Amino acid sequence: MQLVKQLTRFFSPRSACSAEIRQAQDLIKAVDNGGLPLNPAKVNHIARQLGLEVSSKAAMAHTIERIREALARL
């Protein structure tokens, strides 16, 4: 039972407040409208607010896709 809780916590994004969710939605909307994020640190910060673990070496496109997936799960 303890292992299940740990795995659930590891694979599930933590509960994000509505402001964090809104910020992530705004990012995805801007990208979908042709925008190009210029600040990788900001994108990583948004991902971390959603409970994702993000490497500073990860490609920004990959991080944005993970944010999109996290929003779909909420």
40 by Cβ neighbours in 10 Å (0-12 / 13-18 / 19+) ranks as middle
Reported as a single tens digit per residue, the pLDDT across 28-52 is 999 999 999 999 999 999 999 999 9
pLDDT at 17: 79
Residue 60 in contact with residue 43, Cβ under 8 Å?
yes
CA distance 18 to 35: 23
CA distance 71 to 57: 22
Torsion angle (degrees, nearest 10) of CA 10, 62, 56, 53 = -10
Decide: pTM greater than 0.85: no
* pLDDT: which is higher, 15 or 16: 16
